[in-house]
């Protein structure tokens, strides 16, 4: 029984779109992209809160083979990313492969027929020779179970479900959380609200954002002479690479550089916040790099404004009209904004139930053992499965470096499969163990293990205390591996007659 599709891709964000483009290049054009949201774009469709922008320069945060000369700023606003995603989908014929509002319940490897059976909410099932999950890293919003939150009578908004029609003017608002999202959102809410209290549990390192509009003549130059934009990308990517490799991955060898970044952030704070106590409260007590660093020229300044208050006491409970902290103080509010991030390790790795060979459940396997994936993309006992958002898959600072390395891995692996005239692949246990040992060893000299990360509460760490998200390689080396991994790291087979 032949499967209905060559491949089933889950997720229509930049990862799933990259996978689709690669499938077409490989001649596997009979594929479908399933997406739970009502449109494409992933993160850039879901998030549309005020102040949303990339925090990796746009010249790098885009596909290298599809540059966009028309970014209006060095760090483009979120809406431009969404537009760019739509442009790529149209240009590469991806939209006609996409099915929106389609929630995937789970996927199961059918041993008899050697293909994947994907179940969709509502009862439909689809079959595909290959399964590719591109469900993102930060795609399961998290709302902490604050006692009493159900009794709150005002407006509650999670940043991933922003209500554009809701007017903040004159509101008494609270923002819970001080991650990268809050750093962008706080200044915008402060512009409209009559009162704003920011509830901070852990302060975040914030460095200045070197942002500026890209003038129209420069955009025209990028469009006419693409090599100029390529050069700009190279410069920016090299800077990010240095930050990542030196400041994060080789912390043991380059501590002073990491400390210099913290000094820069402290100087930024001193220059922007007048009140000494507020400055102290906003100063992190963990090493720079333990958590994703943030960039803003507006965030700190906002705390100087008379109607903005920083609350560092922990939240005890929510009442119908306010938030009560552990010291008994009640902050009266009518708008509660949850900038409380995402659940990564409990529900996003993987985002759907995936059952492989011998009935192995991927999520259970990862949680009971260690989070692992060969080259951040394949797992033993999961034949014909490419997990694009895996432990140890994220390479570099721009997600696009990861996406494009994975596209190369796909091309090498599936190319070999076709050359051999086979139909199934599965990574060997030995190759998987070797990769896990290598990354574990290399991460030993990173800031995650050498630095003081104890109080950081960083989502880089999982429930076993392992920093199992980032791949401890330069992006150059990740890309080299993607085109040169030993082909015998996989076992190849064919569907039984
Ligand atoms: P993050 O970075 O996970 O931030 C979530 C924030 O919410 C963070 O400050 C948390 O504090 C806070 N939080 C979560 N639960 C609670 C409770 N129970 N009480 C108080 N505060 C809480 O998500 P973002 O959306 O900001 O950013 C996600 C990524 O998007 C970012 O890294 C970029 O890559 C882009 P905590 O730090 O855990 O003490």
Tokens 């139909």, residue located: 423
How many whole angstroms from 198 Cα to the centroid of ligand 1?
13
Does ligand 1 come within 6 angstroms of the Cβ of 182? yes
Report the nearest atom of ligand 1 relative to the CA of 201: 39
Give the Cα separation of 64 and 299 in Å (integer): 31
Choose one of 197, 323, 340 to mutate for the ligand 1 pocket test, by most ligand atoms within 8 angstroms of C-beta.
340
Does ligand 1 come within 6 angstroms of the Cβ of 323? no
Which H or E run includes 31? strand 31-34
How many whole angstroms from 371 Cα to the centroid of ligand 1?
22
How many whole angstroms from 282 Cα to the centroid of ligand 1?
15
SS3 127: strand
Report the nearest atom of ligand 1 relative to the CA of 202: 39
Report the nearest atom of ligand 1 relative to the CA of 292: 32
Residue among 387, 29, 71, 383 at smallest CA distance from 221? 71
- For position 411, what pLDDT does the model report? 98
- Write out the two tokens for 238: 């090299």
List average pLDDT for each run of 10 residues in the chain, which is 497 residues long. Answer: 94 98 98 98 98 96 98 98 98 98 98 97 97 96 97 98 96 98 98 98 96 98 98 94 87 89 96 97 96 95 98 98 98 98 93 97 96 98 98 94 98 98 97 98 95 95 95 95 98 83
CB 196 within 8 A of CB 334: no
CATH number for the domain formed by residue range(s) 5-140+344-492: 3.50.50.60
β-strands 424-427, 490-493: how paired?
antiparallel
Residue nearest to atom 37 of ligand 1 (CA): 202
Report the nearest atom of ligand 1 relative to the CA of 459: 3
- For position 496, what pLDDT does the model report? 66
Please give the CATH architecture assigned to the domain spanning 149-210+238-338.
Answer: 3-Layer(bba) Sandwich (3.50)
Q: Phi-psi category of 41—alpha, beta or left, where left has phi over 0 and alpha has psi -120 to 50?
A: left
Q: What share of the chain is helix, strand, coil (3-state, %, to 5)?
A: 35, 20, 45
Does ligand 1 come within 6 angstroms of the Cβ of 319? no
Does ligand 1 come within 6 angstroms of the Cβ of 376? no
Does ligand 1 come within 6 angstroms of the Cβ of 179? yes
Do domains 5-140+344-492 and 149-210+238-338 share one topology? The answer is yes
Q: The pTM is what?
A: 0.96
DSSP string covering 316-383:
EEEETTEEEETTS-EEE-SEEEE---B--TTTSTTSSEEE-GGG-BHHHHHHHS----BTTTB-TT-T
Report the nearest atom of ligand 1 relative to the CA of 176: 21
Residue nearest to atom 4 of ligand 1 (CA): 179
Domain spans in the chain, listed from the N-terminal domain onward = 5-140+344-492, 149-210+238-338
- Per-residue b or e along 405-423, where b marks 16 or more CB atoms closer than 10 Å to that residue's CB: bbbbbbebbbeebeeeeeb
Give the Cα separation of 410 and 429 in Å (integer): 19
Instruction: Tell me how far apart the terminal alpha carbons of the chain are, to the nearest angstrom.
Output: 10
Does ligand 1 come within 6 angstroms of the Cβ of 176? yes
Residue nearest to atom 12 of ligand 1 (CA): 177
Does ligand 1 come within 6 angstroms of the Cβ of 138? yes
Residue nearest to atom 35 of ligand 1 (CA): 180
């Amino acid at each position: 029984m032949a499967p209905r599709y060559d491949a089933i891709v889950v997720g229509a964000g930049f990862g799933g779109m990259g996978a689709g483009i690669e499938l077409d290049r490989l001649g596997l054009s009979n594929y479908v992209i399933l997406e739970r949201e009502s449109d494409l774009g992933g993160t850039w469709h879901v998030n549309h809160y005020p102040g949303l922008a990339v925090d990796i320069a746009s010249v790098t945060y885009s596909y290298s083979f599809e540059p966009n000369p028309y970014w209006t700023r060095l760090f483009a606003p979120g809406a431009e990313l969404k537009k760019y995603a739509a442009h790529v989908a149209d240009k590469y014929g991806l939209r006609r492969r996409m099915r929106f509002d389609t929630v995937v319940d789970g996927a199961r490897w059918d041993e008899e027929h050697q293909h994947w059976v994907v179940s969709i909410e509502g009862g439909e099932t689809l079959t595909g020779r290959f399964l590719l999950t591109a469900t993102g890293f930060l795609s399961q919003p998290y709302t902490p179970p604050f006692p009493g939150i159900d009794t709150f009578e005002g407006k509650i908004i999670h940043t991933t479900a922003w209500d554009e029609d809701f007017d903040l003017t004159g509101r008494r608002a609270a923002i819970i959380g001080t991650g990268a999202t809050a750093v962008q959102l706080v200044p915008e809410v402060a512009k409209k609200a009559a009162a704003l209290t920011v509830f901070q549990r852990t302060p975040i390192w914030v460095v200045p954002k070197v942002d500026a509009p890209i003038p129209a003549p420069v955009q025209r130059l990028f469009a006419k002479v693409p090599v100029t934009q390529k050069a700009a990308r190279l410069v920016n990517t090299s800077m990010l690479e240095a930050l990542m490799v030196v400041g994060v991955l080789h912390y043991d060898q380059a501590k002073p550089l990491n400390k210099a970044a913290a000094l820069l952030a402290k100087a930024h704070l001193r220059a922007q916040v007048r009140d000494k106590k507020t400055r102290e409260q906003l100063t992190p007590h963990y090493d720079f790099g333990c958590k994703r660093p943030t960039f803003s020229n507006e965030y700190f300044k906002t705390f100087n404004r008379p109607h903005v208050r920083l609350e560092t006491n922990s939240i005890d409970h929510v009442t119908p009209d306010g938030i009560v902290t552990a010291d008994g103080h009640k902050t009266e509010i009518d708008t509660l904004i949850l900038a409380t991030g995402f659940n990564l390790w409990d529900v996003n790795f993987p985002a759907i139930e995936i059952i492989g060979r011998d009935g192995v459940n991927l999520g259970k396997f990862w949680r009971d053992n260690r989070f692992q994936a060969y080259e951040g993309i394949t797992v033993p006992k999961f034949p014909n499965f490419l997990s694009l958002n895996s432990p140890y898959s994220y390479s570099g600072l721009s997600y696009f470096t990861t996406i494009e390395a994975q596209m190369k891995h796909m091309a090498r692996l599936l190319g070999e499969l076709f050359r051999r005239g086979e139909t199934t692949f599965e990574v060997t246990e030995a190759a998987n163990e070797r990769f896990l040992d290598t990354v574990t060893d290399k991460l030993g000299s990173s800031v995650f293990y050498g630095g003081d990360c104890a109080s950081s509460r960083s989502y880089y760490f999982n429930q076993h205390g392992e920093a199992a998200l980032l791949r401890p390689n330069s992006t150059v080396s990740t890309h080299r591996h993607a085109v040169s991994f030993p082909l015998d790291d996989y076992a190849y087979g064919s569907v039984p007659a």
